[in-house]
Amino acid sequence: MKKHRIAIFASGNGSNFEAIATAASSGLIPDCEAALCVCDRPGAYVVERAHRLGVPVLEFNPREFASKRDFERMIADELDRLGVELVCLAGYMRIVGEELLGRYHGRIVNIHPALLPAFPGANAIGDAFDYGVKVYGVTVHYIDSTVDGGTIIAQAAVPYEGRDLDELTALIHNTEHVLYPATIARLLSE
């Protein structure tokens, strides 16, 4: 049986990349291959993780392209060449533009460390912590052209009433590492 091919986009640490790639190779996401790691920050730690896990890497420096459309065209061409079915954004710190959105419409998902629509943006965990919520969480959603907008696919709650930001951050990331692979498995089986 032909495997589902997915690409994972990340800009930094890559713990979600690793959780997804490992879930694919272990069969936790059935019949799935992590076909490509796309990284817009050459030298980011996610690249080291990808090499260790044997996942091909497409590293690029956006500044070496004339426009977003140009580098997204390069990425989309590579996704097409590999036959990628689903794009999973995992800490990709960039708004996806029209080129990728147009060519992979309805096939790009993202993970966000809060219960959207609450706390969008790059500092979601800190913002929720400062607000003093009692139930945090994680959201997997389709993307659109807005920041952390798009239809919600899955959410998991993380109840926490402590005041230790590091402890909370670890709890949220652990939840991401379970929810994201499980959601990808569900999407690929539909």
Q: Is residue 13 part of the contact set for ligand GRF (CB under 6 A)?
A: yes
Name 7's bridge partners.
36, 87
Complex with ligand GRF: residue 75 or 137, whichever CB lies closer: 137
Q: Is residue 176 part of the contact set for ligand GRF (CB under 6 A)?
A: yes
Report the residue number whose CB is nearest to ligand GRF. Answer: 91
> At 68, which amino acid appears?
K
CB neighbours of residue 166 within 10 Å: 7
| Spatial distance between the Cα atoms of 111 and 2, rounded to a whole number of angstroms | 26
Complex with ligand GRF: residue 31 or 167, whichever CB lies closer: 167
Buried b (16+ CB within 10 A) or exposed e, 102-129: ebbeebbbbbbbbbbeebbeeebbeebb
The yes-or-no answer on residue 112 being catalytic is yes
Least CB distance to ligand GRF at residue 56 (A): 18
Among 8, 36, 49, 113, binds ligand GRF (CB under 6 A): 113
Q: Is residue 16 part of the contact set for ligand GRF (CB under 6 A)?
A: yes
Footprint (CB under 6 A) of ligand GRF, residues 131-160: none
Q: Which of 4, 112, 141, 177 does the annotation list as catalytic?
A: 112
Which residue from 58, 49, 60 is spatially nearest to 25, judged by alpha carbons?
49
Least CB distance to ligand GRF at residue 175 (A): 10
Rounded CA Rg of the chain: 16
Binding site for ligand GRF (CB under 6 A): 10, 12-17, 90-91, 111-113, 176
**Which residues are designated catalytic?**
112
